């Protein structure tokens, strides 16, 4: 198991403790590997939920500023991301062993339709997992590498069958394609098995302040929000290896430079060798993801 040597408890700008990362448990590893996703229920305090939700309802569209910024490296996910996106020698005290490469927030009122999305809620993946590629989920030497990885913060209650993200559990390890005409297509369109795949997809119920972590090699989909009791208010943050990048970042230097130093390292350049004996540890204007 990858663990950080960090021991000091610190308080961040928004007063959320940013102490030692919570290590991924063997049970979480087992289920993440088996199914491609895990749920961490009720991670945030009432106060954190209210603060982050208020920012989302006030119009925040990414998790890069305000209290929402604390979700980027919340201790509850840092241990997991170090485990599934990094290796022991690259888990350091002064920089993260993984990168953040995107963030978006959705607020979906009751009645929201998946047709609002450009993919119309079609089950999809980053790249078809049955073929080798740099974003792929892998396990070797008893170690997970999750490839492009999504962390979803649910800031309102989610009830199963009413519009949370759904997953075709286990599909991140599929060896055969989905039956569509094109093995390179990263969604299941035109597959004769679409209905049976949709029928076998799983979702979750959770209280506000819960987190879902999934590998983007897993077939997953957006769904109509039919829960009449509350909107869906969810923060979608995307992570990758410090050596790999899928999304263009689209985040300005001023916003990153205002973050605590270690958090800035989530946005450092995507390279490993050639920058001196200390390696690639520190974000700067000259060493940033674009
Ligand atoms: O909107 C959703 O529930 C699904 C989002 C999604 O496809 C993703 O996070 O990659
Ligand atoms: Fe997706």
Minimal-distance CA residue to ligand 1 atom 2: 222
Give strand pairing partners of 233. 107
Please give the average per-residue pLDDT across 57-78, as a whole number. 98
Quote the ligand 2 centre to 180 CA distance (angstroms). Answer: 18
CA dist 97 → 86, 88, 156, 196 (Å): 5, 9, 30, 38
Q: For 89-93, what is the mean pLDDT?
A: 94
Centre of ligand 2 from the C-alpha of residue 279, in Å: 32
Nearest to 93 by CA among 283, 246, 261, 248: 261
User: Which residues have any ligand 1 atom within 6 Å of their CB?
Assistant: 150, 165, 216, 220, 222, 236
**Given this model, what pLDDT does residue 250 score?**
87
> Looking at residue 18, what is its pLDDT?
54
| pLDDT greater than 70 at residue 13 | no
Q: Indicate the top mutation candidate among 153, 222, 246 to test ligand 1's pocket, ranked by most ligand atoms within 8 A of CB.
A: 222
Question: Cα–Cα–Cα angle for 236, 237, 243, nearest 5°?
Answer: 150
Is it the case that residue 245 has pLDDT exceeding 60?
yes
What CATH number belongs to 26-241?
A: 2.60.120.620
pLDDT of residue 71: 98
Output the six-digit token pair for 160: 């199963």
pTM of the model: 0.93
Written as six digits, the tokens of 20 are: 């030692």
Rg (CA), the chain: 19
Q: How far is the CA of 76 from the centre of ligand 2 (A)?
A: 22
Mean pLDDT of the chain: 93
Is the pLDDT reported for residue 212 higher than 50?
yes
- Residue 275 pLDDT level (bands cut at 50, 70, 90): confident
Q: Residue 9: its pLDDT value, please?
A: 38
* Residue 128 near residue 185 (C-beta atoms within 8 A): yes
User: What's the 214 CA to ligand 2 centre distance in angstroms?
Assistant: 10
């Amino acid at each position: 198991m990858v663990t950080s040597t960090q021991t000091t408890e610190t308080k961040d700008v928004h007063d959320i403790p940013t102490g030692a990362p919570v290590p991924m448990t063997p049970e979480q590893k087992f289920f993440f590997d088996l199914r491609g996703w895990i749920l961490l229920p009720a991670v945030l305090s009432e106060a954190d939920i209210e603060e982050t939700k208020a920012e989302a309802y006030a119009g925040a569209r990414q998790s890069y500023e305000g209290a929402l910024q604390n979700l980027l490296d919340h201790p509850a996910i840092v241990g997991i991301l170090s485990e599934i996106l990094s290796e022991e020698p690259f888990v350091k005290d002064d920089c993260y062993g993984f990168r953040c490469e995107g963030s978006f927030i959705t607020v979906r009122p009751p009645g929201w339709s998946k047709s609002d999305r450009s993919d119309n809620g079609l089950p999809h993946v980053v790249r078809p997992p049955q073929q080798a590629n740099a974003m792929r989920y892998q396990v070797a030497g008893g170690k997970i590498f999750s490839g492009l990885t999504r962390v979803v913060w649910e800031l309102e209650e989610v009830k199963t069958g009413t519009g949370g993200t759904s997953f075709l559990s286990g599909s991140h390890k599929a060896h055969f394609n989905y039956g569509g005409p094109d093995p390179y297509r990263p969604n299941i369109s035109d597959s004769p098995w679409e209905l049976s795949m949709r029928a076998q997809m799983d979702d979750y119920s959770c209280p506000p302040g819960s987190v879902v972590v999934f590998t983007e090699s897993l077939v997953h989909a957006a769904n109509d929000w039919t829960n009449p009791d509350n909107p869906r208010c969810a923060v979608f943050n995307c992570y990758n290896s410090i050596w790999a990048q899928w999304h263009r970042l689209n985040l300005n230097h001023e916003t990153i430079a205002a973050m605590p130093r270690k958090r800035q390292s989530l946005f450092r350049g995507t390279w490993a060798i050639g920058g001196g004996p200390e390696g690639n540890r520190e974000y700067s204007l000259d060493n940033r993801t674009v």
